[in-house]
Structure 1
Amino acid sequence: MNVKGAEDLQNSKKHYQTTPIMAAFLLSGFVGLFSETALNVALSSLMDLFQISASMAQWLTTGYLLTLGILVPLSGLLLQWFSTRQLFVFSLSLSIAGTLIAALATGFEVLLIGRIIQAASMAVLVPLMFNTILIIFPPEKRGGVIGILGLVLVVAPATGPTLSGIIIGSLGWQWIFWLSLPVIGFCLLLGLRFIQNVSTISKPKIDLFSLIVSTVGFGGIVFAFSGVGEGEGGWGSAEVIYPMIAGVLALLVFVWRQNRIKQPMLNLRALKYPMFSIGTLMLFVCMLLILTAMVVLPMYLIKGLGLDALTAGLILLPGGILQAIMSPVMGKMFDKFGPRWIVPLGLIVISAALFFLKGISESTPLILIMIMHTGLMVGICAVWMPSQTNGLNQLPLELYPHGSAIMNTIQQIAGAIGTAIAISLITVGSHAFIEKASDPTDPVNDSLALIAGVQTSFVFALAVALVGLPLAFFIKRVQVDNPSA
């Protein structure tokens, strides 16, 4: 038996109460992601309440993403310095503090502080959750478990806008946070009762220089992409160019540094494992595509077709629900068949959906939009979970924390890039349409121009899917020693 198999065998001999452990993780993760997307519905009300501009209100989202971009890369280090219980309690304590501050906020600045603390909680919780799954479940069961994890993580943002609309309409925006507090408190008590220390604490030496360049690198890139949609300059604005340059340079120095020191903060040697690298790239493609769709389709339905927010949400809801239903199904299929054909078929479905979406117009039937969006979500589900699970399975035990941190960092960067490029291409496509219009001042052209921009964004998304498709055929099942054998 190889070293990795021996390590897995040693961990398999420990008894873990997996059901309450996963319940504590999944429920707390659901609440965290729900509050993240639920607040977006209240942005217009908050602008009026706090007398702030749209760009200022957007910081409630930008600040959240920026915090994740800075802290998620540190999670690999935290997982080696502190026990599972310590990190879980710390994460949920942060969540309770941030949620309480947000619920009591009477001004924008206080609400923003609460949001940043909430993001810090999720930056610790999500990598900790993946690392715990890799340790307490044998390889032959991980696909199904991560599929259930995907169900929870998809349902939360998919139902967030709908549920928050009901809460805001009847109780007020503060109740998004008040209703979350008892659930988080219950998760904390559940975790204190059942969560065990599952990882080995090695306490590697902390490299201060790596911490600094990581913060500048990942934070600068996320900040730059998040700022594309703000102001008039777009990609050419100083708020985008300077953070981007600083971020890229710092990131290059960070990579160089991690490959030089014996105990790296983020061990990039995980990328030497081919299935992990392919899985990470597939994850990048999926996150970029799903964030593009989340930005583009609501704008098309609301601003392009003139639908109200509730109707738009109902049109997009089946896709999120079916994706949630299919996530554990894909997990079981992965456990049985591996990723060999699931991932390429998923990308083919994604490409077909995007091919039709790039041609949508003001006369496209809503039922067709619903079907194509559902196909896109199911295709992403077929690519995401098998690629992620298969990639993490190839890593040795000591690289689990780093692998989880790398994948979660890639998700944040891909999310910022997808949002920025989608907004930018909508603007470019809209301007090109107006320039060619016979009467640019005609109000009818405003919605038509936006639809033209939406088409441009989906052309980009289709190109990304087609680039990822050939790579998907190189994915193959990782052979992991069965600890129970």
Structure 2
Amino acid sequence: MATTVVPKQHVLAIISVALLAAGGIMIETAMNVTFPKLTQVFHTSLNNIQWVTTAYLLAVTVTMTTSAYLTNRFGARRIWLTANLLFIGGTICAGFANSLAILLLGRVLEGIAAGLAMPLMFNLVLSLIPKPKIGVWMGIGAMVISLAPSFGPTYGGALIETLGWRAIFFTLLVIPIASLLLGWHNIAHVAKQNKHLSFDFIAFSLLAIALITGLLVVNQLETGRLNILFLILAIISVTAFIYKSQHSQKVFLNIRLFKSQTFTLLLIPVTFYMFANLGLSLLIPNYLQASAGTTSFLAGFALLPGTLFGAFLSPYFGSLYDKVGATKLIFLGNGIFTISLLGMALLTHRLGFILILISYIIFTIGRSMAFSTGMTAAVDQLPIAQQNDANAILQASQMFMGALGTTVAALFGSNRGGIAIGLNQFLWLLFAIALLLFLLFWLQKHLAEATK
């Protein structure tokens, strides 16, 4: 039993990083309820304003792809300190922004900070927590990721109605300060594992170009046309990245992990849960304000009870994973997730504040159960030497799909028939995806049984 005891210093180290990760994720969606206001302040469209979130998520995604290298090269303490300083600088920059361009710059700096903090949180869990408790602590990490995005609109809605949108940034500075105070004596100077590692800048640049141009292709669909140049550039970049990664002697992402069918078949659903979560986190608050006539605060608050249920249940789902494994939890979670989407899609035009609040509780419980279980199982079944790379791929893929979810949701929200129709169409899209996820889970289960 002694081997399952987690030292207090390790607990506080993980919490200090989790605080910064939570702050980064919360600010990601806190601005969503301000979009109607920001379109007036900066005299632009919703599709342009959504880049306040999308640019942030792209910065997070691109930074996360470097996390495995940075962990091996510089160690936890340097990464944590850098993330805190970048978050403080980006938050101040965004808070004082007098143009959309300056606001986006601040958001990108915050995104880089969050892109360092989130993988670091999971890397610390995998390296500091005894294996018998991995499920619980990965569940706690999933709780952070699940709680913050939907808590953000409530936080943002409360401040925009009282102190204004700039206060959303300034009051958030308490988080990096708390992280620094809590972690200063608990995050140790981890020795560099290999100071001679050579980073593959070419592979990194190719992947960054592919991610950015891929999102631009989707974003510009609002104009009714397909940007062939960006599409070709995205395809060429991702193809060149794959080739370079397979033939390079330098370090970046170990994409050979995709040869693990179990890892790949769990990675795909986990990323789609993030796609659904962030897409609805954008559409629901704006739908409630535009169609149901609720205030900014209530529009954001509608997501909070469900978020609390799903988030605080994540460690419990993790403990169940330690006891019964992944299969039953994944199928049950995706079943609840699917039913909630079907209900909201069928009742979209009757959805008011109360019905959305209840529906979102059911949605988040199912999503959190499948999300946290799938994420843990995807990494836990790999050798320890591959887990940092697996975590980097997992986190970066989630954030890219989150950015894609935000972009696609904004396109649906810009529907000429109104945001209610856009929300309904997006819900049916998510329902169709949820049904396909059952097939992926069945394939993963079949392959796992075949290899026993």
The verdict on a shared fold, with TM-score over 0.5 as the criterion, is yes
State whether residues 54 and 406 of structure 2, in contact with CA within 8 Å, keep that contact through their aligned partners in structure 1.
Answer: no
Point out the more displaced range, 96-105 or 38-47. 38-47
Report the counterpart of residue 459 of structure 1 in structure 2: 428
Q: Does 1:338 align with 2:325?
A: yes
The amino acid of 1:394's aligned partner reads: Q
The amino acid of 1:283's aligned partner reads: V
- Output the CA distance in 2 between the equivalents of 1:279 and 1:243: 29
State whether residues 304 and 362 of structure 1, in contact with CA within 8 Å, keep that contact through their aligned partners in structure 2.
Answer: no
Q: How much does 1:454 deviate?
A: 3.0
The root-mean-square deviation of aligned C-alpha atoms, in Å, is 2.9
Q: Does 1:409 align with 2:378?
A: no
The normalised TM-score by structure 2 is 0.89
- Output the CA distance in 2 between the equivalents of 1:360 and 1:387: 29
The partner residue of 1:60 within 52, 60, 63 is 52
The partner residue of 1:244 within 214, 228, 231 is 231
Distance 1:53 1:347, change over 3 A: closer
State whether residues 143 and 334 of structure 1, in contact with CA within 8 Å, keep that contact through their aligned partners in structure 2.
Answer: yes
Distance 1:246 1:403, change over 3 A: same
Distance 1:391 1:366, change over 3 A: same
Distance 1:173 1:251, change over 3 A: same
- Output the CA distance in 2 between the equivalents of 1:391 and 1:169: 42
Report the counterpart of residue 240 of structure 2 in structure 1: 253
Q: How much does 1:91 deviate?
A: 0.9
The partner residue of 1:285 within 244, 267, 272 is 272
Q: How much does 1:396 deviate?
A: 1.9
Q: How much does 1:335 deviate?
A: 1.5
Q: How much does 1:140 deviate?
A: 1.7
Q: How much does 1:264 deviate?
A: 4.2
Report the counterpart of residue 199 of structure 2 in structure 1: 206
5+ residue gaps, structure 1:
1-10, 432-445, 480-485
State whether residues 135 and 198 of structure 1, in contact with CA within 8 Å, keep that contact through their aligned partners in structure 2.
Answer: no
Distance 1:292 1:34, change over 3 A: closer
Report the counterpart of residue 5 of structure 1 in structure 2: none
Q: Deviations over 1:399-437 (max 9, x none)?
A: 22211111112112212333344444566xx56xxxxxx
State whether residues 50 and 410 of structure 2, in contact with CA within 8 Å, keep that contact through their aligned partners in structure 1.
Answer: no
Report the counterpart of residue 22 of structure 1 in structure 2: 14
Report the counterpart of residue 442 of structure 1 in structure 2: none
5+ residue gaps, structure 2:
none
Q: Does 1:111 align with 2:103?
A: yes
- Percentage identity across paired residues of the two chains: 27
Q: Does 1:390 align with 2:377?
A: yes
Q: How much does 1:55 deviate?
A: 4.5
The secondary structure found in structure 2 opposite 1:399 is: helix
Distance 1:133 1:312, change over 3 A: same
The partner residue of 2:122 within 130, 134, 146 is 130
Report the counterpart of residue 222 of structure 1 in structure 2: 215
Q: How much does 1:331 deviate?
A: 1.3
The amino acid of 1:245's aligned partner reads: I
- Output the CA distance in 2 between the equivalents of 1:411 and 1:199: 29
The normalised TM-score by structure 1 is 0.83
Mapping of residues 361-440 of structure 1, within 5 Å: 361-363=348-350, 367-425=354-412
Q: How much does 1:168 deviate?
A: 3.0
The partner residue of 2:140 within 131, 140, 148 is 148
The amino acid of 2:284's aligned partner reads: L
The partner residue of 1:192 within 184, 194, 214 is 184
Q: How much does 1:382 deviate?
A: 0.9
Q: How much does 1:366 deviate?
A: 5.4
State whether residues 6 and 129 of structure 2, in contact with CA within 8 Å, keep that contact through their aligned partners in structure 1.
Answer: no
Point out the more displaced range, 57-66 or 43-52. 43-52
Report the counterpart of residue 24 of structure 2 in structure 1: 32
The partner residue of 1:166 within 154, 158, 162 is 158
Point out the more displaced range, 313-322 or 133-142. 313-322
The amino acid of 2:30's aligned partner reads: A
The secondary structure found in structure 2 opposite 1:350 is: helix
Instruction: Say which one has the larger Rg.
Output: 1
Aligned length: 445
The secondary structure found in structure 1 opposite 2:66 is: helix
